[in-house]
Amino acid sequence: MKKILVANRGEIALRVMRTARRMGIKTVAVYSEVDRRSPHVLFADEAVCIGPPPSSQSYLMGQKIIEVALSLGVDGIHPGYGFLSENAAFAQAVTDAGIIFIGPSPYSIEVMGSKLAAKEAVKKFNIPMVPGTEGAVSDVEEAIEVGRTVGYPLLVKASAGGGGKGMRIVENEAELASQMERAISEATSAFGDGSVFIEKYVGSPRHIEIQVLADQHGNTVHLFERECSVQRRHQKVVEEAPSAILTPEIRMAMGADAVKVAQSCDYTGAGTVEFLVDENLNYYFLEMNTRLQVEHPVSELITGVDLVEQQIRVARGEKLSFSQSDLSIKGHALELRVYAEDPLNDFLPSIGNLSTYRRPIGEGIRVDDGFEQGMDIPIYYDPMIAKLIAFGKDRTEAIARLLRAIADYEIEGVATTLPFGRFVLEHEAFLSGKFDTHFVQNYFTKEALTAGEADEDAVAAALALQVYLKEKGGCMYRRWAERGGGGK
């Protein structure tokens, strides 16, 4: 593979191109009119404008992207995440054009894109699943029967849904018929597929996912878990690896099951198997994401494996150069997603100009971003500015480094979720590891952020007064120097 086109933008396009360049592979960027001066465009060896800002007219124009690739002699297309990354028809069209799709086969994408097809595929592998229906349910009588068997509350889920879309909680039998009808009509209009199924509702679960990697020669490994329970409205906020709650035994069992899930759909490349974990550490297979995920860096940091490099190697037909027993967890990693959203204003996107933008630096700190100072954050795409990633020898060190980096990050011109991230990382429930997917809902209020600010103001005032009084005493500098001249 000599030349790769990255069918994406922002941090992930840049991140993929960096690894490609390191491997001696030329890179091609595609971009919309609003992204013409973006870092991914400037970084690439070649760049082609593919249309106006809306993604439907640019980053989702599969055929146009393939035409660009053919005209430039590209031999591989990396889709990143979002956009065309889990579009089986696009993966097929790329392959049909004689170009390597750097991702799984259209078949794997299709099977795992349907929750019902996924359940069917993994059935013979004995993977734990939440009690519920095996197939689609359209009949209320059947649903009532299921409800009586598994008990309430229930969750009605759309087969074509995922990431929380098309789910409805049903508290009791009286609500079942109406909730099912709503779920079916919502799924029909949202996905063009009204199939729904029913599961027992797990009340306070953790969301733990396993990173897998498979070559085209039948070798599949897992790269341990990522704990992704801290999320807000199905948007992940903080991800970490390893999870504070898994025992080595459960970790190995989940890893082995994730490998089986991958094998059930002949998976190749990098993928993620999502599980729910309940209070008793029972785990249940939820779904498989057939792409490189936003939070992949935490797995890279604890294993030392560059997942994009592995994706490229697998796509060009190489065998994995390591086996499961070569992999181990070294240290702890956390990722905070930094969004241009205002946590004081219901997380509304805060678009505007990055008038000040200075990344934190320091030991164990990695910033994956796609912006530079002075750039506008466009309204057309996901408002994520950066992923702030910290690594340490253990969880305590990684959290301390991430907090330091949050404090050192200088962003002006737009509101960001940095203060929200600090709130999470300093929270007792997070520090103790006792949290579930309801963390934000249970603990976050915007008053918690402003209260923190008030404290900070008070601390700042107290410090200023201290400094002033010492200065008056004429020994301010000496005392400061005695304390170590500024500290770390």
Sequence-distant (6+) residues with CB within 8 A of 448 are: 423
Distance CA 249, CA 267 (A): 25
Q: Which is nearer to ligand MV4, 154 or 259 (CB)?
A: 154
Q: What are phi and psi of 317, to 5 degrees?
A: 95, 5
> C-alpha angle with apex 119: 115 to 121, nearest 5 degrees?
115
Instruction: Looking at residues 419 to 438 of the shown chain, list those that interact with ligand MV4 (rule: CB under 6 A).
Output: 437
Size of the site for ligand MV4 (CB under 6 A): 18
Please state the separation of Cα 387 from the chain's center in Å.
10
- In the complex, the smallest distance separating the C-beta of residue 328 from ligand MV4, rounded to whole angstroms, is 27
The amino acid that residue 195 corresponds to is S
Pairing of strands 283-289, 269-277: antiparallel
Using a 10 angstrom Cβ sphere, with 0-12 exposed, 13-18 middle and 19 or more buried, the burial of residue 290 is buried
- In the complex, the smallest distance separating the C-beta of residue 161 from ligand MV4, rounded to whole angstroms, is 7
- Determine the interface stretch with ligand MV4 among 103-111, 202-210, 318-326, 366-374 (rule: CB under 6 A): 202-210
Asked if 166 is part of the footprint of ligand MV4 (rule: CB under 6 A), the reply reads: no
Chosen residue from 231, 272, 293, 310 binding ligand MV4 by CB under 6 A = 231
Q: Could you tell me if 417 and 347 are in contact, meaning their C-beta atoms sit under 8 angstroms apart?
A: yes
- Determine the interface stretch with ligand MV4 among 27-35, 72-80, 157-165, 188-196 (rule: CB under 6 A): 157-165
Instruction: Looking at residues 115 to 144 of the shown chain, list those that interact with ligand MV4 (rule: CB under 6 A).
Output: 130
Q: Could you tell me if 414 and 351 are in contact, meaning their C-beta atoms sit under 8 angstroms apart?
A: yes
Active-site residue, selected from the candidate residues 9, 168, 206, 291: 291
382: tokens are 């996901």
Query: Quick count: other Cβ atoms within 10 Å of Cβ 99?
Result: 18
E runs forming strands in 40-164: 46-51, 76-78, 100-101, 154-162
- In the complex, the smallest distance separating the C-beta of residue 170 from ligand MV4, rounded to whole angstroms, is 11
Q: 291 catalytic, yes or no?
A: yes
Chosen residue from 16, 68, 127, 155 binding ligand MV4 by CB under 6 A = 155
Distance CA 209, CA 227 (A): 7
Using the structure block, give the residue that is written with the tokens 């990354």.
85
Q: Which is nearer to ligand MV4, 200 or 291 (CB)?
A: 200
Asked if 209 is part of the footprint of ligand MV4 (rule: CB under 6 A), the reply reads: no
Instruction: Looking at residues 275 to 334 of the shown chain, list those that interact with ligand MV4 (rule: CB under 6 A).
Output: 276, 286-287
Q: Which is nearer to ligand MV4, 62 or 205 (CB)?
A: 205
195: tokens are 């199939």
Instruction: Looking at residues 3 to 42 of the shown chain, list those that interact with ligand MV4 (rule: CB under 6 A).
Output: none
Pick the closest to residue 274 from 335, 213, 328, 228 (CA basis): 228
Instruction: Looking at residues 250 to 279 of the shown chain, list those that interact with ligand MV4 (rule: CB under 6 A).
Output: 274, 276
- Determine the interface stretch with ligand MV4 among 29-37, 84-92, 195-203, 373-381 (rule: CB under 6 A): 195-203
Pick the closest to residue 274 from 190, 162, 193, 166 (CA basis): 162
- Determine the interface stretch with ligand MV4 among 29-37, 44-52, 196-204, 358-366 (rule: CB under 6 A): 196-204
Distance CA 225, CA 272 (A): 9
Chosen residue from 35, 199, 341, 369 binding ligand MV4 by CB under 6 A = 199
Q: Could you tell me if 40 and 17 are in contact, meaning their C-beta atoms sit under 8 angstroms apart?
A: yes
Chosen residue from 62, 205, 297, 419 binding ligand MV4 by CB under 6 A = 205
Asked if 163 is part of the footprint of ligand MV4 (rule: CB under 6 A), the reply reads: yes
Q: Which is nearer to ligand MV4, 15 or 232 (CB)?
A: 232
User: What's the alpha-carbon Rg for the chain, to the nearest Å?
Assistant: 24
Using the structure block, give the residue that is written with the tokens 């329970």.
229
- Determine the interface stretch with ligand MV4 among 143-151, 193-201, 316-324, 326-334 (rule: CB under 6 A): 193-201
Active site residues: 291
Residues lying near ligand MV4 in the complex (CB under 6 A): 130, 155, 162-164, 199-202, 205, 207, 231, 234, 274, 276, 286-287, 437
